[in-house]
Structure 1
Amino acid sequence: MNIYDFNVTTENGEEYSLAKYRGRPLVIVNTATKCGLAPQFKELEELYQKYQEQGLMILGFPSNQFKQEVASSQEAAESCRLTYGVTFPMHTIAPVNGEEAQPLFKYLVTAAPGTLGNKIKWNFTKFVVSPDGETITRFGPQTNPLKMVPTIESYLTK
């Protein structure tokens, strides 16, 4: 099993397979628009703009697990676009911890456990996935996304 075995759903309700990103490095991040860490959207977008032509894809997954998200997936995506200029794909609001957690995040926390083991500590936990879908590096909520640059650059097509 790897990252490409999962289907996800956009904020508009369209389901697709992550296999469409096979061969590209991914940054997968759980987000919340009302979180104090929301300014990280700016750095995530900066990374996306800088590296997307070299293959990088950033995927935002809003969650209200920590009670810091707006009411709907569309509203969350719109807020990200209007407030932070986000152009990378945003997805439906879904839990990231517990039995109800979306399968993608159950897989990510098992593949790259954090200080809380197989749980997401807080909003803006970031996972960098290698182009083969096998190697996953986890970055904590407080880690500025720009600190992921060495890992991202190691996976980019030259």
Structure 2
Amino acid sequence: MIRMLVLTTLILLGRTVQAAPVSGEFASIDGGTLSIDDWRGQPVLVVNTASHCGFTGQYAALQKVYEIYSDRGLVVLAVPSDSFNQELGSAEEVKEFCELNYDLTLPMTDITPVKGAEAHPFYKAVETQTGFVPRWNFNKILLDTEGAVVATYGANVKPDSPKLLRQVESLLR
């Protein structure tokens, strides 16, 4: 009886619980849609952004990470948001700002709420699964190749930080 209990406990402790994939379709800043599901098989770094934030300079690092890792499969998705009252008035203004100041070529959504009752369904799903809600602009959500959340980072973690890039590289192997 004790042996069976120990064996059952070891089996249970040895299992890993795989988070369910999250999905979401976003309006693209370029028109049309961007779907997390279209990127299955690739890791995705989702970052809520804003043009008038103390962290806006992180756009440069996001573009750099995108340029370095996109050939290996990483998708970097910028999600401009006015949830913290620091975004420009229209998607056109955001697109122009990002192109002129940061020469961004990574995929971007239209201006999208990321918290509260109006939060995009992707962010609601992430909150339901992980409890994570962006507390400011430039929070990051890293999805594995199946679309499951593997890590979340606050605004203070830069897109090119060794900690974040180690996670990205582990997903690209």
* TM-score, structure 2 as length reference: 0.82
How far apart, in 2, do the equivalents of 1:73 and 1:25 lie? 26
Letter in 1 for 2:167: T
2:119 is aligned, of 92, 96, 101, to: 101
* Matched ranges for 1:22-61 at <5 A: 22-61=40-79
- Residue matched to 2:9: none
Shift of 1:87: 0.8
Residue 79 (structure 1) aligns with: 97
Contact 2:25/2:35 (<8 A) preserved:
yes
- 1:19 is displaced (CA, Å) by 1.4
Q: Which runs of 5+ in 1 are unaligned?
A: none
Cα distance, 1:82–1:111 mapped onto 2, change above 3 Å:
farther
SS in 1 for 2:110: coil
2:36–2:147 Cα contact (<8 Å) kept: no
Counterpart position of 2:154: 140
Structure 1 segments (4+ residues) deviating >4 Å: none
Q: How many residues align?
A: 152
- 1:2 to 2:16 alignment: no
Alignment partner of 1:35: what SS?
Answer: coil
Secondary structure, in 3 states, of the residue corresponding to 1:127?
A: strand
- What does residue 122 of structure 1 align with? 136
Give the unaligned 5+ runs of structure 2.
1-19
1:38 maps to a residue whose letter is T
SS at 1:97 equivalent? coil
Q: Once the two structures are superposed, what CA deviation does each residue of 1:111-130 show, in whole Å capped at 9, x if it has no partner?
A: 3334xxxx320000001110
Classify the secondary structure of the residue corresponding to 2:131: coil
CA shift for structure 1 position 134: 1.8
> SS of 1:94's equivalent?
coil
Structure 2 counterpart of 1:17: 35
- Alpha-carbon RMSD across the aligned residues, in angstroms, is 1.4
**2:173 aligned with 1:154:** no
Q: TM-score, normalised by structure 1?
A: 0.90
Quote the Cα distance in structure 1 between the aligned partners of 2:31 and 2:129.
27
1:24 and 1:131 in contact (8 A); partners too: yes
Q: Is the 8 A contact 2:45 2:143 kept in 1?
A: yes
Quick one: structure 1 residues 40 and 112, their matched pair in 2 at CA, closer, same or farther if it must change by over 3 Å?
A: farther
| Aligned equivalents of 1:124, 1:16: Cα separation in 2 | 19
Shift of residue 20, structure 1, vs aligned partner: 1.1
